[in-house]
Structure 1
């Protein structure tokens, strides 16, 4: 019985499990949740992407469709450090497809940014077409 009563005792502030000294500033924020932080960041990213101009949204959807072909278990987009040249080659191939489909194709830099954002979302648990309204 003595063991259980010790578990319920509050620890002194200087003996918080694994922590010596005062808490870091970010742990004192009222909404600090380390486990849920990534989901909140992804939610915020998807919400802000909804505000893109219509033509950019159209390109983003088309890039997401093309990235579906490279989205499988063991794909290079899920490597710890994706190969830069493979991602640039994917950007160039997407540019080629969009130049054939569109009269005014977007620049390679915009395609690259949209592609990298889509890869980021997929690597961190974002689901394509899943939009959150705040």
Structure 2
């Protein structure tokens, strides 16, 4: 009395990759709803993260150094200032606006982007075997 299972039930592994795709699409959708100031800063933050995304990078340390993360944020700020993005953002806020909120926004967005990349790296470093994840090692 062996019941045969449909193919999709016997080999459910492809369903694991669908979750990753949905997570990525959801993350991209949320980034598309960022306020205008954040949208202008995002390419600089992603570029900085791309620049330091290599094996052994401070970004992938178990406990990233706060000073190094602050310096990454400073590099992003300096590049945006050089491209006069900071000046435009301050002008758009009106009188009395200063650059401290932009620095804080850059740091928060940078930490969020690093978190996402660390999470993705952990997922990709796992080996999937019949629907069960085993860490590589």
TM-score, normalised to structure 1, is 0.57
RMSD: 2.8
When structure 1 is superposed on structure 2, of 116-125 and 99-108 the one drifting more is: 99-108
- 1:61 maps to 2:43: yes
1:66–1:94 Cα contact (<8 Å) kept: yes
* 1:56 match: secondary structure: helix
Kindly indicate which of the two structures has a greater share of residues assigned to strand: 2
Tell me the alpha carbon deviations over residues 7-61 of structure 1, each in whole angstroms, 9 at most, x when there is no partner: xxxxxxxxxxxxxxxxxxxxxxxxxxxx88x946665443222111234222112
2:48–2:72 Cα contact (<8 Å) kept: no
Runs of 4+ displaced beyond 6 Å = none
Structure 1 residue 70 displacement after superposition: 0.6
Tell me the alpha carbon deviations over residues 61-97 of structure 1, each in whole angstroms, 9 at most, x when there is no partner: 2210122111111111001111111101111121111
Cα distance in 2, alignment partners of residues 60 and 99 from structure 1? 14
Larger radius of gyration, structure 1 or 2?
Answer: 1
Aligned pair count reads: 94
- 1:108 maps to 2:103: yes
2:44–2:79 Cα contact (<8 Å) kept: no
* 1:104 match: secondary structure: helix
